[in-house]
Amino acid sequence: MPDTPPPASADPHRFEAGLEKRAANYVPLTPASLLARAAAAFGARVAVIDGERRITYAALHERCLRLASALAGRGIRRLDTVAILASNIPEMVEAHFAVPMLGAVLNPLNTRLDPATIAFSLRHGDARVLIVEAAHAALAARALAELEQPPLVVSIGQAGQDAGVPYEALIEGGDPAYAWKGPEDEWQSLCLLYTSGTTGDPKGAVYSHRGAYLQALGNAVTFGLSGESVYLWTLPMFHCSGWSYPWACVAAGATQVCLRKVEPAEIFRLIAEHGVTHLCGAPIVLSMIAHAPAHERRDFPQVVRCAVGGAAPSSTIIRTMEEMGFRITHLYGATESYGPATACLAQPDWQDLSDEARYQRMARQGVALATLEAVTVTDPETGEPVPRDGSRIGEIRLRGNTIMKGYLGNPGATGRALADGWYATGDLAVWHPDGSVEIKDRSKDIIISGGENISSLEVEEVLMRHPAVMLAAVVARPDETWGETPCAFLEAKPDATLPSADEVIAFCRERMARFKVPKRVVFGPLPKTSTGKIQKFVLRELARELG
């Protein structure tokens, strides 16, 4: 498939001639229009809950118009970068609409990064404005100190001469009748999201207005969001723009509940008090909920749909969550795909399966969202799709309107990621006869022992069934005889009695082929990224040092 369309014919077909795009029948897609529609359709409905604060859709729309107007008054123009360093607060939702209204580019920054990385992002993205929540003012100050030309600072909840322009004062000075026009071209850049790479500088994935609009609809349909939904922000809004859920919730007319810090007791309280129906998170979030002590839990009558990204949750976690009133949906995606790209959708025949068989199906990465053009699994050598037999391993590739435009200022990395008409994910998977894909590992995480490929995810799934294990990560450890052997790093459940390494190995031998059994077992806290992913590159280095 060519990357550029063929030239238009000199003599248009009768179904084209005289049927051109007009203002009446063609408007470039933008997620900002979703808020305008919501305010007009159900302005009195509560859009955002933050503690005692309630913001209706009408008020949210007005605040976004004021913010866009005020930033324009400060000289911010089309394609200027507006960065924001904040927790899951209403102002993060507002930024996801106000900045696109202005035609500028929003750059949500990871609050868990170090000052040098924050400074790199501000410098590389050429931020003209930095909106900062008071809780992260010290981090912002250290990052800004490294810049020769710091951006205009807008402060949320701060006071004092050095705090910058107060956010609420900026809002008050904006025009509530600001006439935003939307992008002239829906391919126009909308968001800049820096990936948390393990080596080198972060790469800045660029989203378009078109992609964000379509991803919002794809999320809403896939996750069953509606005007009756209450969405709890257990996922950081700075991560992939909250997997595009700030836009998805508004598209559906749902209520968003803010959560600044992921704590099980607070999650249960908000679920019970606000009737939360949906939440998203990394596997670590599900693990925290599932292992919450009894005194932190609250009963609730509704079923809570919980979408999890990253590695598939273990069967133990799924069982525990279902018993507590949660229904799990496994999603798969990346920063480069606006968050979720595929979803594991329950099938009618699953109800006839045993629990263990059903959990295995639920752990698959599933099929493409309705708004993604295609997903395939290809042979890394030939580039051809692998058979849909559930056993042949290939690389997952994605294509569609919800794939990033590319990496800002990095044409080499863009070309490698988007070569041959597909986004190459680097994830290795099999393709099942029903069309669902199932990740076996990252290409760099496959363990090759004595010529046999071992999926670290498969070994981790078995380890997570052990009653004392809360988290498991398996990496390759050099071995003179076998080349590599599995090395397991385990984080125990709170108050669990630690088993010996021999007991863990014996547990695995009863449940998997002997060549897959870890030869070394280490207990202790697992290193994690700022978004909760386990840092296997750190563990690989530790495994090498174990000798």
**For 315, phi and psi rounded to 5 degrees?**
-60, -35
Mean pLDDT of the region 267-281: 97
Q: What Å distances lie between residue 134 and 155, 335, 389, 513, CA to CA?
A: 7, 27, 53, 53
C-beta separation of 446 from 453 below 8 A: yes
The token duo for 416 is 């490698």
Q: Could you give the angle at the alpha carbon of 125 between the alpha carbons of 124 and 130, nearest 5°?
A: 120
Whether pLDDT at 545 is above 90: no
* HEC profile of 422-437: CEEEEEEEEECCCCCE
C-beta separation of 447 from 540 below 8 A: no
One-letter amino acid identity for 46? V
Count CB atoms within 10 A of the CB of residue 200: 7
The token duo for 147 is 């810049």
Per-residue confidence (pLDDT) for residue 351, from 0 to 100: 86
Assigned superfamily of 447-546: ANL, C-terminal domain (3.30.300.30)
C-beta separation of 526 from 462 below 8 A: no
CA dihedral over 471, 309, 3, 436, signed as positive or negative: positive
Whether pLDDT at 451 is above 60: no
Q: What is the pLDDT of residues 295-332, one digit of tens each?
A: 999 999 999 999 998 666 777 788 889 999 999 999 99
Between 494 and 521, name the one with better pLDDT. 521
**Whole-number Å distance between alpha carbons of 506 and 500:** 10
Mean pLDDT of the region 100-117: 93
Q: What is the pLDDT of residues 384-393, one digit of tens each?
A: 999 999 989 8
Q: Which residues, at least 6 apart from 195, have a Cβ–Cβ distance to it below 8 Å?
A: 202, 203, 204, 205, 335, 336
Per-residue confidence (pLDDT) for residue 8, from 0 to 100: 61
Whether pLDDT at 216 is above 90: yes
Q: How confident is the model at residue 159 (pLDDT cuts 50, 70, 90)?
A: low
C-beta separation of 53 from 64 below 8 A: no
Whether pLDDT at 57 is above 60: yes
Q: How confident is the model at residue 502 (pLDDT cuts 50, 70, 90)?
A: very high
Whether pLDDT at 282 is above 70: yes
Q: How confident is the model at residue 192 (pLDDT cuts 50, 70, 90)?
A: very high
How far from chain centre, in Å, is Cα 99? 20
Per-residue confidence (pLDDT) for residue 515, from 0 to 100: 79
Q: Which of 257-271, 422-436, 490-504, 523-537 has the highest mean pLDDT?
A: 257-271
Whether pLDDT at 235 is above 90: yes
Q: What's the CATH class of domain 262-440?
A: alpha beta
Locate the domains of the chain by residue range.
32-212, 262-440, 447-546
- Same fold flag, 32-212 and 262-440: yes
Q: What is the pLDDT of residues 119-138, one digit of tens each?
A: 999 999 999 999 999 999 99
DSSP E strands, 195-265 = 204-208, 230-232, 255-257
Mean pLDDT of the region 483-511: 90
Give strand pairing partners of 257.
49, 232
Q: What is the pTM of this model?
A: 0.84
Helix, strand, coil % in the chain, rounded to nearest 5? 35, 25, 40
The token duo for 525 is 């806290």
Using DSSP bridges, classify how beta strands 189-194 and 165-166 pair: parallel, antiparallel or unpaired.
unpaired
**Whole-number Å distance between alpha carbons of 438 and 57:** 39
Q: Kind and range of the H or E element at 439?
A: strand 437-442
The residue whose two tokens read 């349909």 is 221
Q: How confident is the model at residue 99 (pLDDT cuts 50, 70, 90)?
A: very high
Q: What is the pLDDT of residues 331-357, one digit of tens each?
A: 999 999 999 999 998 888 888 899 888
Between 57 and 534, name the one with better pLDDT. 57
C-beta separation of 10 from 75 below 8 A: no
Whether pLDDT at 198 is above 50: no
Average pLDDT value over all residues in the chain: 91
The end-to-end CA distance of the chain, in Å, is: 49
CATH number for domain 32-212, candidates 3.40.50.980, 3.40.50.300, 3.40.50.720, 3.40.190.170: 3.40.50.980
Per-residue confidence (pLDDT) for residue 453, from 0 to 100: 64
Per-residue confidence (pLDDT) for residue 311, from 0 to 100: 65
Q: Which residues, at least 6 apart from 219, have a Cβ–Cβ distance to it below 8 Å?
A: 225, 243, 244, 245, 247, 248, 339, 340, 369
